[in-house]
Structure 1
Amino acid sequence: MPTIKFHTLGCKVNQYETQAIRESCLRKGFKETKNGKADCYVINTCTVTNTADRKSREYIYRCIRENPKAKVVVAGCYVQKDKDKITNIPGIELIVPNEQKNLIPDFLFAKKINSCGIKNQYSDLEISSFSDHDKAFVKIQDGCNNRCSYCKIPIVRGKSRSRDLASIVREAERLIRNGFQELVLTGICLGAYGKDLKGEFDLVNVIEVVEKLDGNFRIRLSSIEAKDVTDKLIEKIASSKKMCRHLHIPFQSGDNAILKKMNRNYTAESYIKLIDKIRNKIPQIAITTDIMIGFPTETEKRFNNTFRFLKGIAPSRMHIFPFSPRENTPAFAFAGKVDSPSMKKRMRKVQDLAREISYEYRKQFLHKELVVLVERKKDKKSGMLQGYSDNYIKIFINSKKLAPGNNLQKVRITQVTPDTTLSVPV
């Protein structure tokens, strides 16, 4: 029985697609191994930043070094972007574009694939479990019609395509039957779901159907754009007993001039109004976000606009990252690059603010009860159980009786520090 290893870089969609490939390969007779050499390696790459490109290349070379005789399969967004560069790496057996990932098990003994075209149909992949994960991602959409000036994803993922609702429901039912108690609806541009389908289906329709399924589970949304957070969606989250009180809404910058150059199609003021509307309707909801530091023409004044904006909206968690110039995007050629020392200084300042805001948000739940998805792996440092609440707080659970393992557990918060949130089971 041939052995196989998988490695995934990048987003939740990539993680989902790797799981689908894994299940298909195992059905075909491969045996997954995580230690030592393998007969075959499948690397699902990412190209969202220069760092992602570098890590993709590094892992390709690492696999080739580990077993020079192995079949090395490279797939994903880096393939779409730099297929010619990858083709020149000796030791790669297969190069598979995004829309052909579902065929990897059938391609394992074929020649290299030269076609890198992107179809405008949803390429169906399905899963029944989620290896090494306590929550299960359910991919419902692919591609993106937005044209942010810094982003390469629409180039490598193609136009927005929605998954058939019946297929989503079948998969959700399987995952619930197999014990998953948190389903994360995900996509490249999640809020675009249904816009390419005939009829009136949208993201809220998906939620309404999935939340009616039998079982003890909850639903979380992955990242969603501000323009797609509709009144209908806010009402659904507020009224649903299954939906997590959490929205991850990227805003990237709090300066209107920068937002315009980014082609984000909203202003700082409109974003603030949206957040106020959400919080008025759903008290204590977790608003998390992405912040890009050092976009071209980000002067100190414009950065300070973003900093004040962050203090005002107070996201409970922030993903903070530096601008990474991507070839073939408009921002690649923009003048006004920010020097590295300034970028690092600004990053540290926002990171310090993020820690302060997170602490303030979490303090309101002291002595309150929250429901946590208990993870299978204990915290290495403390030995305590851990997991996330519905409003995306990482919580440590002090209990010798509670068993680890992918289950929803009510806890009472006993201590909140700047870095940790402690609890006991209820």
Structure 2
Amino acid sequence: MEILIINLFLLTAFSNINNDIKHIKSMKVYFESYGCTLEKSEAALYVNKMLQDGGELVDDPERADVSVIGTCVVIKHTEDHMLKRIGELSKKSRNVLVLGCLATVNGNTLESENIRVIKPREFRSFYTGTLDDVKIKEPSILDGIPINQGCTGHCNFCISHISRGKLLSRSPEKIVGQVRMQIESGIREIRITSLDTAAYGKDINTDLADLINSITRLDVDFMLRVGMMEPRNTYDILEKLIDAYKNDKVFKFLHLPVQSGDNRILDSMNREYKIEEAGHVIKRFKEEFPDMVFSTDIIAGYYTENSESMENTYKFIDTYMPDIINITRFSPRPYTPDFSRKTMPSNITKEFSKKIMEMHKEYMDEKLSRYHGRILKVIVTERTENAYLARDVNYRPVIIKGDVKLYDRLNVEIVDHGDTYLIGKI
């Protein structure tokens, strides 16, 4: 008897779903994923494993033998959306396989006649085995390459580190091998990702800077984007990391989630650093790469917030002027120390968020206006509905139109800008 899915996890997950699924010789797979780049990357590699074993990707769950959904549970609103979407898929698709962090909160209650769950901690074995050698059958669904599972932090508000467990780094050889596979499949924007890329290697006697150097030594034309890194671990390897960033193949892009500009709030969150340390990281990066894109995350309405702490966050934003600000309302998550905490009144949270976005809009308009008339070298990274998205060396987005192809290298003149992007002419 031919069994399409040879992966042990997948066989276990489907052991009680329609026995005839084991007899399918060309399984049709529908796929969608949500949440952070790490979750999307893991889920996409999982699906590529299914395709490698003989599956076919389809764009309609009603045509699929199995629908795979990668989930997120970072806030309650997202969790509710995930549950709704899984219910919709279970009505359209014969079988549904749920991946990602939602399984931590609802794994035991989600499973039903045609729904099965793989929890993130079960997924950890992928980081020392199956994940390493997945062939890239469908590069269009890939968001990046996971480099480590779990993290070293213990933030009081965060369910992700509870869901994913202790730090587990993949070997640099396996990561570089997968980078090579992505390049061979035609991808030229390589993304490495995790809950905290700066934590990479602490458990295997290496670090993120060494990994970047190993990747950029590949003698091929590509650009590397490094994913989110927490301030504490970034601070510890700062100068070595900056040296690695000097390579021409590395986008000068820093995603450093500070969450608050106030030390009292950071202490309440158990973030394990002072805002001055985070500020030093940003300052050093900007000294070396003045035009770099800096992205950060802010939690609005943390339960210990007050007018003074909000003011300190405004000062942080005014000082460092992040190009990207992701604002998330504080949402107590199950199993975390903050689960019993009360949220702040929504009017206060909305006002806090509104002021941050007004500040951001004002300085970004001024910052992007300075690019008008400049010639930038860019690489085309994405096709939008009626244009192309390109990136300069600093990962600043540039919208262009014209007869171009994905991953073309171009010189463009900046003629205008939007709220967070430039508009270029070839």
Give the TM-score range, shorter chain. 0.7 to 0.9
How many pairs were matched up? 395
Q: 1:313 to 1:25 in 2, by over 3 A?
A: same
DSSP 3-state at the match of 1:414: strand
Equivalent position of 2:84 in the other structure: 58
Equivalent position of 1:110 in the other structure: none
The answer on whether the counterparts of 1:2 and 1:30 sit within 8 Å (CA) in structure 2 is: yes
DSSP 3-state at the match of 2:32: strand
Equivalent position of 1:366 in the other structure: 372
- Code of the residue aligned with 1:31 in structure 2: it is E
Q: 1:59 to 1:258 in 2, by over 3 A?
A: same
RMSD across aligned C-alpha pairs, in angstroms?
A: 2.2
Q: 1:148 to 1:376 in 2, by over 3 A?
A: closer
Q: 1:158 to 1:290 in 2, by over 3 A?
A: same
Q: Please say which of residues 358-367 and 166-175 is displaced more in the overlay.
A: 358-367
| Deviations, residues 324-360 of structure 1 (Å, cap 9, x unaligned) | 111221122235x311121122212212222223223
The answer on whether the counterparts of 1:388 and 1:394 sit within 8 Å (CA) in structure 2 is: yes
| Deviations, residues 65-108 of structure 1 (Å, cap 9, x unaligned) | 224xx011112211123222213xx443422122545xxxxxxx
d(CA) in 1 for partners of 2:356 and 2:115? 44
Q: Report the Cα offset of residue 410 of structure 1.
A: 3.1
Matched, 1:85 2:109: yes
Equivalent position of 1:389 in the other structure: 392
Percent identical: 26
| Deviations, residues 192-227 of structure 1 (Å, cap 9, x unaligned) | 111111x4x211111111101121101111101112
Equivalent position of 1:208 in the other structure: 213
- Code of the residue aligned with 1:260 in structure 2: it is D
d(CA) in 2 for partners of 1:322 and 1:127? 39
Q: 1:388 to 1:120 in 2, by over 3 A?
A: closer
- Code of the residue aligned with 2:295 in structure 1: it is T
Equivalent position of 2:53 in the other structure: 28
- Code of the residue aligned with 1:219 in structure 2: it is L
| Deviations, residues 113-160 of structure 1 (Å, cap 9, x unaligned) | xxxxx6696454135265436x85121111112001100111110100
Matched, 1:217 2:217: no
DSSP 3-state at the match of 1:331: coil
| Deviations, residues 221-277 of structure 1 (Å, cap 9, x unaligned) | 11011122211101221x211111111100000111111101112222222222222
The answer on whether the counterparts of 1:8 and 1:15 sit within 8 Å (CA) in structure 2 is: yes
Aligned to 2:120, which of 95, 98, 101? 98
- Code of the residue aligned with 1:395 in structure 2: it is V
Equivalent position of 1:74 in the other structure: 98
The answer on whether the counterparts of 1:316 and 1:357 sit within 8 Å (CA) in structure 2 is: no
Aligned to 1:353, which of 350, 359, 363? 359
What TM-score, normalized to structure 2?
0.87
- Contiguous gaps of at least 5 residues in structure 1: 102-117
The answer on whether the counterparts of 1:193 and 1:202 sit within 8 Å (CA) in structure 2 is: yes
DSSP 3-state at the match of 1:422: strand
What TM-score, normalized to structure 1?
0.87
- Code of the residue aligned with 2:52 in structure 1: it is R
Matched, 1:228 2:233: yes
Q: Report the Cα offset of residue 190 of structure 1.
A: 1.0
Q: Please say which of residues 213-222 and 274-283 is displaced more in the overlay.
A: 274-283
Q: Report the Cα offset of residue 417 of structure 1.
A: 4.5
The runs of at least 4 consecutive aligned structure 1 residues that moved more than 6 Å come to 118-121
d(CA) in 2 for partners of 1:292 and 1:211? 34
The answer on whether the counterparts of 2:375 and 2:413 sit within 8 Å (CA) in structure 1 is: yes
d(CA) in 2 for partners of 1:354 and 1:86? 40
Matched, 1:280 2:306: no
Equivalent position of 1:421 in the other structure: 422
Aligned to 2:325, which of 318, 321, 328? 318
d(CA) in 2 for partners of 1:330 and 1:193? 25
